[in-house]
Structure 1
Amino acid sequence: MITSILAGDTEQYHELIRPYERSVYKMALSFMKDDSDAEDVAQEAFLKAFRKLADFRGQAKFSTWLISITLNEARGRLRRQGLVRMESLDETPEEGSHISPALLRDWREIPSEALERKEVRQMLEEAIGNLSPLYREVVLLRDVEEFSIEETAVALAITTGNVKVRLHRARMMMQKELAPRLKNVSQRRRWFQW
């Protein structure tokens, strides 16, 4: 498909990127925190990918290459806005930031279970959103987008060892934040079941 696009059939580009639209938007939203800004970043990433399609070597998956363009665009936009500072691996995540993509409801569920599931999902989104970008991007790629360690390393332009270290630290931070909150959910569930 890429060969065909490069040969002049540019109409196929939309078919090429369609499976990745949601992933690119979610990645942009995790950085930008605003729907409009995230849409701008996603759109710019797709445009840059189109312009640089001839540079795609096929050494990584197309999705990995596209996500790395999205990450670079989001980071660049934040740098231009002066909102991002360099972070140390030893720093703890900042408080107050959160990620809130739209949630889909399954109406066939028991209402109490649906409410509990929504609450847990919101806790997870908040915990991911509270991570610094250094850790958040690894968690999103590995645990949300289900990239392999190697694909994550390629997308972030870091070593596989760094992916493992950042992912471990991010999971530990999330566990520390979520453990007490999830305990409360578990206690309420036992009460409802009783």
Structure 2
Amino acid sequence: MKAAKGSAKRRKLDHDDLTTLSDKELVKLMQKGRKEAFEIIVKRYESKAYNLALSLCKCEEDAEEVLQDVFITVYTKIKGFEGKSAFSSWLYRITVNASFMKLRKNKQNKATPVEEITPAMENSWVNHEYWTPPTTDSKLANAELKRVLSDAINRLPEEYRAVFVLRDVDGLSNKETGEILGLTIPAVKSRLHRARLMLQKKLHRYYMDFVNPTQVIGVGPRYLQGEA
């Protein structure tokens, strides 16, 4: 009787739309060997994992290899996931570690295409509402800002770039960032502050050239105001 009930339950899940399940529920199914659950997790997180890897690795080919490594790791180690942190934090941590391993193996400094640094940048700390360049072609000015910003982020040291990307680009909290990187919240805030100062220094000349100095003071992006 118990076997029949279990079989009936399994058939029901086979017919359900598994995409509506939470990460926690999908993890349980993955730990039971359900490949369909793994496929849904891949679809749910492949874009976010890729964007994070690309922001850290600065190379499309490397980011794609990292993405493959990430989901191979998830598939092979899911049974050992105890749920002490959110699944997304665990996956991001795997992505960051895999990206840093790739960077150590490949030391060449490749530039990240401006349009690929991450779609989230449009709604992050560099929101265009914060500045108004005195130019007749705002599209060109916006493109120039993205180019300068992309280059500045790419030049951040690994440990600061990781914190900056997770906090200010992907919009994660200090706690989530700390869990992913294995840092305390004070350490996250400290590295984020350092990263923002580095970017401020690199972007200062650009803002002074393209933005009225009176607009910069007390107005610019969040990092200029020191928010954490």
Q: Is the 8 A contact 2:160 2:195 kept in 1?
A: yes
Match of 2:74 in 1: 49
> Structure 2 CA distance, aligned partners of 1:82 and 1:36?
12
Q: Deviations over 1:35-61 (max 9, x none)?
A: 112100111011101111122222322
Match of 2:171 in 1: 146
Matched, 1:33 2:58: yes
Match of 2:107 in 1: 83
Matched, 1:100 2:120: no
Match of 1:133 in 2: 158
Q: Is the 8 A contact 2:62 2:102 kept in 1?
A: no
> Structure 2 CA distance, aligned partners of 1:49 and 1:112?
46
Trace 1:1-194 onto structure 2 (pairs within 5 A).
1-79=26-104, 81=105, 83=107, 98-100=111-113, 102-103=115-116, 112-186=137-211
Q: Which has the larger displacement, 60-69 or 21-30?
A: 21-30
> Structure 2 CA distance, aligned partners of 1:20 and 1:101?
22
> What secondary structure sits across from 2:183 in the alignment?
coil
Question: Which of these two proteins has the greater Rg computed from alpha carbons?
Answer: 2
> What secondary structure sits across from 1:165 in the alignment?
helix
Q: Which has the larger displacement, 42-51 or 133-142?
A: 42-51
Cα RMSD between the aligned structures? 2.4
> Structure 1 CA distance, aligned partners of 2:182 and 2:75?
20
Counting aligned pairs with the same residue, the percent is 34
Q: Is the 8 A contact 2:58 2:154 kept in 1?
A: no
> Structure 1 CA distance, aligned partners of 2:182 and 2:114?
26
Counterpart of 2:115 in structure 1: which amino acid?
A
Counterpart of 2:107 in structure 1: which amino acid?
L
Counting matched residue pairs gives: 170
Structure 1 residue runs of 5 or longer lacking an equivalent are: 85-95, 105-110, 188-194
Structure 2 residue runs of 5 or longer lacking an equivalent are: 1-25, 120-135, 213-228
Q: Is the 8 A contact 2:112 2:154 kept in 1?
A: yes
Q: Is the 8 A contact 1:29 1:38 kept in 2?
A: yes
C-alpha spacing 1:130/1:82, structure 2 compared with 1 (3 Å): closer
Q: Is the 8 A contact 2:57 2:63 kept in 1?
A: yes
Q: Is the 8 A contact 2:67 2:95 kept in 1?
A: yes
TM-score by length of 1: 0.78
> Structure 1 CA distance, aligned partners of 2:191 and 2:111?
19
